[in-house]
């Protein structure tokens, strides 16, 4: 079978299509004939060697988001059939490996049906980013009516955060550049403030005592901590432990722990079907153009996700 992977870690051009032995569904799992897989910032870290690869072997396949059709059902699996269209979260460099593959072996709990009325390409952008957004909300522990500031609201993770928070009755203050304002406002935040150095001051102008939580999807870190009230929660997506600011609770997302969070995947599916969450595809490209997708992602400014297809 074909995989897009890396023999030697490096830049985008380290990615190439490789032939590897075909995998098959085992007990408690299915095999998904992958039709589409999303390109996420996490994938660039796998490609460049920033993650532990000691439990995997080359070619290393990145990717945490896939969608396709079940074509094998293993023993002890109930409720799933060949032909079911599903979306799945994958774990690169461990277990069954990443999503940049023709066939993905997925244990029950790591996938669910694609939302009604959604294409396979759109569905491939939902699992990992959606689970990350849900975990962020859980870590913050916000209640209806509390305030949340979001950096990087125009990015896909920021999109899902704003949409899920608004649906939960949380007051959202989202950042935006001037060019992204139509997109960000379409997500439904209560307030939109300029992105950049004045973010914290702009948030404080709306919430003088500071917000209850801040989700830093744009990795602004020290510069935006002052937007929080005493006792507020700062949630980081790349493992930052905080700057020691007194009275601030620093939390870190670890979406790998959501590998078998079937109930949450179901909530995401229903959220898409109900219009709470809107998947956004930047462009669909053939799998062999993965290097280009990585280059364009790292150049910045992408709205939505590049999706690769076989």
| Helix/strand/coil percentages in the chain, nearest 5 | 30, 30, 40
Average pLDDT over residues 117-141: 98
Strands (E) located in 74-146? 85-89, 103-107, 111-113
User: In this predicted model, what pLDDT tens digit does every residue of 43-93 receive, in sequence order?
Assistant: 999 999 999 998 899 999 999 999 999 999 999 999 999 999 999 999 999
Average pLDDT over residues 300-306: 93
Q: What is the pLDDT of residue 309?
A: 98
User: In this predicted model, what pLDDT tens digit does every residue of 135-175 receive, in sequence order?
Assistant: 999 999 999 999 999 999 999 999 999 999 999 999 999 99
Q: What percent of the chain has pLDDT over 70?
A: 100
Residue 79 half-sphere exposure toward CB, CA atoms < 13 A: 8
Q: Across the chain, how many H-helices and E-strands are there? A: 8, 15
Is the pTM higher than 0.75?
yes
Q: What is the pLDDT of residue 68?
A: 98
Average pLDDT over residues 201-215: 98
């Amino acid at each position: 079978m074909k995989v897009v992977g890396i023999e030697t870690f490096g830049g985008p051009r380290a990615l190439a299509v490789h032939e590897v032995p075909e995998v098959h569904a085992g007990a408690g799992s299915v095999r998904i004939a992958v039709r589409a897989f999303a390109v996420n910032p996490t994938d660039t870290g796998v490609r460049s060697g920033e993650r532990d690869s000691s439990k995997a072997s080359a070619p290393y396949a990145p990717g945490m988001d896939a969608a396709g059709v079940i074509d094998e059902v293993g023993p002890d699996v109930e409720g799933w059939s060949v032909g079911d269209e599903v979306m799945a979260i994958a774990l690169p460099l461990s277990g069954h490996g990443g999503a940049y593959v023709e066939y993905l072996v997925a244990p029950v709990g790591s996938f669910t049906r694609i939302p009604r009325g959604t294409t396979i390409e759109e569905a491939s952008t939902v699992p990992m980013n959606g689970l990350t957004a849900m975990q962020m909300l859980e870590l913050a522990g916000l209640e209806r009516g509390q305030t949340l500031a979001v950096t990087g609201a125009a990015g896909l993770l920021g999109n899902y955060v704003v949409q899920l928070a608004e649906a939960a009755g949380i007051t959202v203050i989202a950042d935006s550049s001037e060019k992204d304002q139509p997109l960000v406002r379409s997500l439904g935040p209560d307030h939109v403030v300029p992105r950049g150095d004045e973010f914290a001051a702009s948030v404080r102008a709306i919430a003088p005592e500071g917000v209850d939580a801040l989700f830093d999807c744009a990795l602004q870190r020290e510069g935006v901590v002052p937007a929080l009230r005493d006792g507020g929660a700062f949630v980081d997506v790349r493992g930052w432990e905080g700057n020691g600011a007194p009275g601030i609770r620093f939390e870190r997302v670890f979406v790998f722990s959501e590998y078998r969070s079937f109930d949450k995947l179901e909530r995401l599916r229903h959220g898409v079907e109900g219009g709470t969450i809107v998947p956004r595809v930047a462009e669909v490209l053939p799998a062999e153009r993965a290097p280009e997708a990585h280059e364009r992602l790292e150049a910045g400014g992408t709205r939505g996700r590049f999706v690769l297809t076989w």
